[in-house]
Every structure is written in C-alpha cells, then in structure tokens.
C-alpha cells in the first residue's frame, strides 16, 4: 500500500518512508491511497486474541511494507513487558449504564501512550528497513503531557534521540517531575525560561533553520517531530476501536454485525479519526460523536460546515483539548471528498484567513458518520460528580466532556465512551468537582486523597515520583536552545 499527500503532489511513499518523513513535501498529511477492507470473520477472529495480537492483525492491513515479524516486534516492545498496568492494554470497563474504553493504562497515564509507545518502534524499524544512515533526533516543545509520553516512548530506541523543551513556569509540579526524572540513555529534558509559546516558537525556528539542519545532517543527525500528524501516530489508534468491539462481542454485549457508537473527547482530531478509519475498514460503527470543551471549533464545524478559528481561546480543565486548529481534520476532508485540490484550497484559506466552508454536500456526508457536542468547565465538573454518584467511577475532565455528550444522546444503546486520561493526572480538578477540600495540600497528598475514593490504585509512574532521582536540570534562555540541540546532537 502506498501513501499519498492530502494536497495532491505526486509523491507516493511506502508506510516506512511516510513515517520517516512525517509531513508531505507540499505541507499535506500522508494518507493511504486506498482503504483496506475487513469482513466480519476478521472481526470475530479478534475475540479471543490478546491486544498485541489484535494490533498485529489491524496494523498489517496498513503497514504492508513491514514484515509480519517486524510488526510483531514493534508491538511487543510497545505494549509488552508490563509497560501497561492492565494486561488488556486498552480494557473496556462495562459499567451499569455505559461502557468505557480506558486508554490510560500506559506508562504516563494518558491516551498519548497508545500511539507514542508504538511510533518510536515503527520509526526505528523504518530507519533500518530503508537503510537510513542518519540518527533521528526528535525535538518536542511541550506544555506537559505529550513531552513525557514521547520521552517514555523513545527512551533507548535504537537510532533515535529525543530532546524535550518545557516552559520553566508553564507546567504543573507533577508534570515537571515526570520529565526531569526521565531515565534512558538517549533523552534530554531542558527547561526554557518563559512560557509555552517561547518553547514552541524556539523549536519551530530550529526546524526551519536550513543552515543549522544541513550542519546537523553532515554530522549524521536529522531532526524530526513526534506530533500527531505523523501516520505512525495515527495508525496505532485504529487498533483499539477493533479491540473494543471484539471485547463487547466476547462479553456477549453485542452480536456480530451490531452497530456501536463511540463518544470521543477531541482536540487535534486524531483519536476520533482513527475511529473513522476503523469504520471505513468495515467495523460496524453507527456514529462517532466528537466531544469538545469550550474551544468548540469542531462542534461548530460539524454542525455548519464552516471551520472558523477566529475566536477566543479558553484555558479549560481539560487542557489536552484546548486546541483551535485540529490538524487531522485534513485527513477526514480528503477521505470524504477524494479531492486533493479542494483540500489544498481549504487549507490555504485556513492559513490565510483562519476560516473555510466545505459546503452543504460535503457536510451532509460528514454528518452521516459524525455528531458533535461540547460542554464548558462547570458542566464538566457537574458530570464528574454525577457519574461518580451513579457509577462510582472517577472520570478525568477530558472523559467527563465525552460523558456529557453521551448523556445528551437520544440513542444510548451500544455506546462506548472513550476515556483518555487517568483521573490521577488531573487530581485537583477532579477532587474539586467531587467537593473535596484540597486547600493547602500538595500534589502527593492529593493523589492519596483521590486514591481513598477511586477503585484504581495510584499509577506507579505518578506514585514513584516522590522519591525519583532528578536527572535533568538544564535551564536555558530561548536564544540558547539551538546550542543545546547542537550539544546534545553531538553527544
Ligand atoms: C491528546 C488528548 C486528547 C485529544 O485527542 P486528539 O487526538 O488530539 O483529538 C484528549 N484527551 C487527552 C487526555 C489527551 O491527552
């Protein structure tokens, strides 16, 4: 299977090449040129397999240039070896009124692990397959969660290095501790004096500095990013939609062929788009419900066909969804229209005016598959309290946004809420929502407080932070970032 750009240049790449390159030369995203199809026998065949085995079956449909053995190796290194605290990796928790697909049992307790554990393995294998000589150095600017998940994923992966920049005064104490205690022989973590924009614009400048990149190339190092537009980050996420369906089949909650819906807390549109791919492949999906917080640009788009990022930006209690440009939407537009010229035009309008309109016909096709809803912080907190009362289940704020959308659905039959973070990662908001007194308590006391009412224990990666050794204490000015990258590249 070949991969092409959503914007229509004539590049045709293998999966391995697309994963190494990341973004197409015309600025578009790589998509499979055709959609692999599976039948019900394939889906029923997943029922009695482990998550890893299911992953191999689904990934093989897309990564046709990887051998079976290569895919098995990647999957084992990503999801094996007790890196996840639940043997099911992405278990479906079947509660009284609804089922919850838990995507936060990985090393950093958030859904980013599902993709960022596998992407480095796919990349490292791709470098070997294509006999690439350079070492790939991943640069990440992070406001918290992605940086840690990327560090855990790339730690000690051959032919790669990772350097993460975080704002000196822009991450929570737990997030900072998670990063500065990072282990691994190929990792660097550096604080940048300033806020997230300083760190991010610093990294962007380094990526676009041609002379600097050429100099690194001469030394055998290529820079790359781990962000969610890489095909290698999207494809791992298709697996858990199949896995969830297989789990419901196995539990006798549905019969083969029954349609199910997923409600997905959405930011960059990667998670929910993976559900779209699963549906296009043949998984019986009725609706994909896109749940947003107050940054509800996608709710408006899915209701009107007009994408308009010219609006206020809100900092919410579900920060991983505080996004006004959802990059992966471009892939959906391509698959719905099959028209690269149209997609390129809309993306040009978005870049120039912050706005585009896909028109009534395209919108109608999208609405056959997608629905949308949003909730503000007050509604989200109220939801955390309400469903805790009903189900004794502690949801994090991102999951609660989806829960709210679920509550408002007319047809509640066979619905799965996709849960994207452990509540322990957002203990302050969660405890406040549950009317607990948090005044004067530090992060570790809050973890204990939450543990007293949650049926899940404190994740090891968070609990262990209290005594973990600090291994990274470099702090730089924005102007010193390039030098820091160079020093680490040559190390
Ligand atoms: C990244 C993230 C999301 C949003 O997922 P997208 O693929 O960007 O739509 C939702 N919840 C949490 C906890 C996340 O980390």
Q: Cβ contacts of residue 471 below 8 Å, gap of 6+?
A: 180, 181, 182, 183, 189
Q: pLDDT per residue over 250-259, tens digit each?
A: 999 999 999 9
Per-residue model confidence (pLDDT) at position 399: 98
DSSP states along 433-450 = HTT---TT--HHHHHHHH
Atom of ligand 1 nearest to the CA of 267: 9
pLDDT higher than threshold 80 for residue 467: yes
Burial of 110 (0-12, 13-18, 19+ CB in 10 A): buried
Q: Whose CA is nearest to atom 15 of ligand 1?
A: 320
| Separation of CA 396 and ligand 1 centre (Å) | 12
The answer as to whether 318 is a domain residue is yes
What whole-number distance in Å separates Cα of residue 377 and Cα of residue 138? Answer: 34
Is 56 among the domain residues?
Answer: no
Give ligand 1 pocket residues (Cβ under 6 A): 110-112, 145, 228, 265-271, 320-321, 398, 420-421
Asked whether the predicted pLDDT for residue 62 surpasses 80, the reply is yes
* Structural domain contains residue 331: yes
What was the pLDDT predicted at 144? 73
CATH value at residue 391: 3.40.50.1100
Q: Is the pLDDT of residue 198 over 90?
A: no
10 contacts: CB under 8 Å, gap ≥ 6: none
Active site residue: 2, 37, 83, 112, which one? 112
Q: Ligand 1, residue 323: give the atom nearest the CA.
A: 8
Residue 18: exposed, middle, or buried by beta-carbon count in 10 A (0-12, 13-18, 19+)?
Answer: buried
SS3 380: helix
State the DSSP string of 238-257.
HHHHHHHHHHHHHTTSS-TT
| Per-residue pLDDT at 395 | 98
199 within some domain: no
Q: How confident is the model at residue 325 (pLDDT cuts 50, 70, 90)?
A: confident
**Residue 131 pLDDT greater than 90, yes or no:** yes
Q: Which domain holds residue 284?
A: 92-109+232-466
Looking only at Cα atoms, what is the longest distance across the chain? Answer: 61
What is the torsion angle, in degrees rounded to the nearest 10, for the CA atoms of residue 99, residue 103, residue 106 and residue 112? Answer: -170
Ligand 1 pocket: which of 233, 235, 266 to mutate (most atoms <8 Å of CB)? 266
Q: Over the chain, what is the mean pLDDT?
A: 95
Would residue 238 count as lying in a domain? yes
User: To 10 degrees, the CA torsion angle through 444, 449, 455, 461?
Assistant: 0
Inside any domain, residue 100: yes
Q: Which of 323, 375, 398 most suits a substitution to test ligand 1, by most atoms within 8 Å of the C-beta?
A: 398
Distance 133 CA to ligand 1 centre (A): 34
To the query of whether residue 112 is one of the catalytic residues in this protein, the response is: yes
For residue 170, pLDDT over 80 is answered with no
Are 253 and 101 spatial neighbours (Cβ–Cβ below 8 Å)? no
Write down the H helix ranges in 288-396.
Answer: 297-304, 329-337, 340-353, 359-367, 377-391
Q: Within a domain: residue 416?
A: yes
Which whole number is the average pLDDT over 410-428? 95
Residue 200: predicted pLDDT:
85
Q: How many domains does the chain have?
A: 1
Token duo for residue 205: 């400048």
Q: Atom 14 in ligand 1: which residue has the minimum CA distance?
A: 320
Q: How far is the CA of 104 from the centre of ligand 1 (A)?
A: 11
- The helix or strand, by DSSP H or E, that contains position 101, with its residue range, turns out to be strand 99-102
207 Cβ contact partners less than 8 Å away, ≥ 6 residues apart: 139, 213, 223, 225
Q: Does 207 have pLDDT greater than 80?
A: yes
Residues whose CB is less than 8 angstroms from the CB of residue 161 and which lie 6 or more positions away in sequence, other chains included: 135, 136, 137, 138, 154, 186, 187, 188, 221, 488, 489
Q: What is the pLDDT of residue 423?
A: 96
User: Domain for residue 181, yes or no?
Assistant: no
Q: CA separation (Å) from 443 to 20, 183, 283, 380, 420?
A: 39, 22, 42, 22, 21
What does the pLDDT average to over 416-442? 95
Cα–ligand 1 centroid distance for 221 (angstroms): 30
Distance in angstroms (rounded) separating the CA atoms of residues 165 and 226? 13
Distance from C-alpha of 314 to C-alpha of 287, rounded to nearest angstrom: 28
Comparing 132-136, 138-142, 197-201, 427-431, the range with the smallest average pLDDT is 197-201
Q: Which of 223, 74, 235 is nearest to 157 (CA)?
A: 74
The fraction of the chain above a pLDDT of 90, given in percent, is: 89
- Give the closest residue (by CA) to ligand 1 atom 11: 420
């Amino acid at each position: 299977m070949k991969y092409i750009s959503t914007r229509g240049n004539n590049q045709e790449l293998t999966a391995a090449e697309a994963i190494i390159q990341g973004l197409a030369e015309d600025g578009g995203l790589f998509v499979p040129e055709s959609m692999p199809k599976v039948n019900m026998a394939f889906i029923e065949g997943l029922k009695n397999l482990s998550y890893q085995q299911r992953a191999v079956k689904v990934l093989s449909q897309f990564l046709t240039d990887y051998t079976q053995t290569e895919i098995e190796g990647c999957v084992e290194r990503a999801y094996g070896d007790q890196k996840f605290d639940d043997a099911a990796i992405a278990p479906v928790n079947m509660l009284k009124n609804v089922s919850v697909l838990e995507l936060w049992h990985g090393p950093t307790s958030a859904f980013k692990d599902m993709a960022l554990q596998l992407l480095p393995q796919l990349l490292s294998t791709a470098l070997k397959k294509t006999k690439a000589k350079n070492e790939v150095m991943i640069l990440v600017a992070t406001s918290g969660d992605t940086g840690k998940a990327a560090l855990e994923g790339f730690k000690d992966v051959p032919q790669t290095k990772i350097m993460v920049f975080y704002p000196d005064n822009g991450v929570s104490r737990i997030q900072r501790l998670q990063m500065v205690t990072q282990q691994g022989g190929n990792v660097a973590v550096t604080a940048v004096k300033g806020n997230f924009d300083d760190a991010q614009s610093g990294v962007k400048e380094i990526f676009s500095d041609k002379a600097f990149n050429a100099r690194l190339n001469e030394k055998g190092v290529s820079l790359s990013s781990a962000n969610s537009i890489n095909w290698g980050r999207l494809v791992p996420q298709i697996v858990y939609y199949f896995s969830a369906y297989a789990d419901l089949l196995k539990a006798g909650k549905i019969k083969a062929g029954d349609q199910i819906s997923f409600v997905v807390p959405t930011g960059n549109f990667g998670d929910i788009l993976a559900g779209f791919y699963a549906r296009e492949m043949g998984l019986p999906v009725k609706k994909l419900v896109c749940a947003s917080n107050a940054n509800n640009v996608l709710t408006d788009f899915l209701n009107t066909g007009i994408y308009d990022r010219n609006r206020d930006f809100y900092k919410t209690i579900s920060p991983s969804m505080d996004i006004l440009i959802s990059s992966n939407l471009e892939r959906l537009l391509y698959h719905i229209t099959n028209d690269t010229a149209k997609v390129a035009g809309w993306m040009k309008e978005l870049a120039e005016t912050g706005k585009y309109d896909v028109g009534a016909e395209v919108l109608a096709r999208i609405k056959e598959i997608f629905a949308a809803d949003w909730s503000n912080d007050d509604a989200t907190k109220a939801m955390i309290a309400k469903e805790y009362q009903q189900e004794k289940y502690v949801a994090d704020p991102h999951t609660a946004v989806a829960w709210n959308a679920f509550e408002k659905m007319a047809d509640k039959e066979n619905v799965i809420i996709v849960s994207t973070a452990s509540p322990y990662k957002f203990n302050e908001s969660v405890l406040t929502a549950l009317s607990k007194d948090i005044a004067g308590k530090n992060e570790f006391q809050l973890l204990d407080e939450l543990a007293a009412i949650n049926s899940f224990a404190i994740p090891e990666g968070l609990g262990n932070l209290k005594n973990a050794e600090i291994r990274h204490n470099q702090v730089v000015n924005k102007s010193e970032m390039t030098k820091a990258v160079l020093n680490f590249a040559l190390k």
